[in-house]
């Protein structure tokens, strides 16, 4: 008998939910793992939030803290952002993004931090033998299924009508990230012009890990349909600003079995 339990907290300004499936999701080790996931995400937010004046990120940007003295996570994220910029041909770029509060250009790695932090925090659930879990941070999703379990079914929201679904991605292990303008207006910036990017309403990327699915979704939202040729093993569904529906040939990924095989 498989039971399921959910936890929700508001972290990084987003609703973060954890669903756990297994024999006894109410057991203490499960609750402890989930609590560690939330604690690690809160800590990442304290260090890396562009919204907090006292975060290591903000202090580093103002020149009050050098990278060597800051929390080691800051240097890790800066380095990962550089790799993300290279891998996306410059279409993911944290430099010169508008400050979420003032609109002034600044260094904002948020587009990478969420996926990276969630991916890393999920290690606290990895040791739960026989349990499957689904982490959803503001619409970006990471799942794991034990051998023999059913795949998680991830609905892809319709940007034109967020109460409805464009489709369903069944996934045993991996990530689904969506980027677009459905909820916050045009907040995606074209790094080559510095202006709001408009070619895409929403793009959903499926891949093995959330960090890169999220980076590719952010880059594709700025670049438009051409990005679908450069996804390095990821699958994607894109709705252009004119409402066209484009997918990579393999979307939504390998056909998921009724039961998942061992990882």
Q: Report if residue 155 touches other proteins, rule: CB under 8 A.
A: yes
Q: Which two tokens stand for residue 246?
A: 């484009």
Q: Report if residue 212 touches other proteins, rule: CB under 8 A.
A: no
Q: Which two tokens stand for residue 32?
A: 């402890």
> Cβ closer to other proteins: 23 or 168?
168
CA angle, corner 40, sides to 36 and 42, nearest 5?
Answer: 115
The secondary structure of residue 196, as a DSSP letter, is B
Q: Please provide residue 88's backbone torsions phi and psi, each rounded to the nearest 5 degrees.
A: -100, 15
State which of residues 41, 157, 172, 253 lies at the interface with other proteins (CB under 8 A). Answer: 157
> Cβ closer to other proteins: 66 or 102?
102
Specify which residues 237 forms β-bridges with. Answer: 204, 247
CA 88 – CA 82 distance, rounded (Å):
10
Query: CB-hemisphere CA count at 13 Å for 115?
Result: 27
Q: Round the CA-based radius of gyration of the chain to a whole number and report it.
A: 18
State which of residues 113, 181, 220, 231 lies at the interface with other proteins (CB under 8 A). Answer: 181
> For other proteins, what does the binding mask look like between residues 16 and 55, x meaning CB under 8 A?
-x-x------------------------------------
> Cβ closer to other proteins: 52 or 75?
52
Q: How far is the CB of 245 from other proteins (least distance, A)?
A: 16
* Of the candidates 171, 112, 180, the residue with the CA atom closest to the CA atom of residue 142: 171
> Cβ closer to other proteins: 167 or 225?
167
> Cβ closer to other proteins: 14 or 27?
14
- Positions touching other proteins (CB under 8 A) are 4-10, 13-15, 17, 19, 114, 134, 136, 138-141, 152-157, 159, 162-165, 168-169, 176-184, 202, 204
């Amino acid at each position: 008998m498989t039971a399921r339990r959910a936890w929700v907290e508001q972290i990084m300004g987003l609703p973060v939910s954890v669903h756990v499936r297994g024999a006894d999701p109410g057991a203490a080790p499960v609750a402890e793992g989930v609590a560690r996931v939330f604690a690690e995400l809160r800590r990442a937010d304290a260090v890396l939030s562009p919204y907090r004046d006292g975060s290591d990120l903000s202090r580093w940007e103002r020149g009050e803290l050098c990278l060597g003295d800051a929390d080691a996570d800051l240097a890790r994220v800066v380095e990962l952002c550089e790799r993300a910029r290279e891998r996306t041909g410059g279409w993911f770029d944290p430099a010169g993004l508008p400050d979420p509060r003032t609109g002034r250009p600044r260094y904002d790695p948020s587009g990478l931090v969420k996926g990276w932090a969630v991916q890393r925090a999920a290690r606290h659930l990895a040791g739960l033998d026989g349990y499957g879990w689904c982490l959803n941070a503001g619409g970006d999703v990471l799942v794991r299924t034990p051998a023999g379990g059913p795949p998680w079914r991830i609905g892809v929201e319709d940007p034109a009508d967020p109460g409805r679904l464009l489709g369903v991605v069944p996934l045993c292990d991996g990530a689904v990230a969506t980027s677009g303008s459905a909820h916050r207006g045009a907040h995606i910036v074209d790094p080559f012009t510095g202006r709001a990017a408009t070619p895409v309403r929403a793009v959903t990327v499926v891949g093995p890990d959330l960090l890169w699915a999220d980076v590719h979704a952010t880059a594709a939202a700025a670049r438009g349909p051409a990005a679908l040729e450069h996804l390095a093993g990821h699958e994607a569904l894109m709705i252009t600003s004119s409402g066209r529906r484009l997918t990579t040939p393999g979307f939504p990924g390998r056909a998921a079995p009724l039961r998942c095989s061992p990882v």
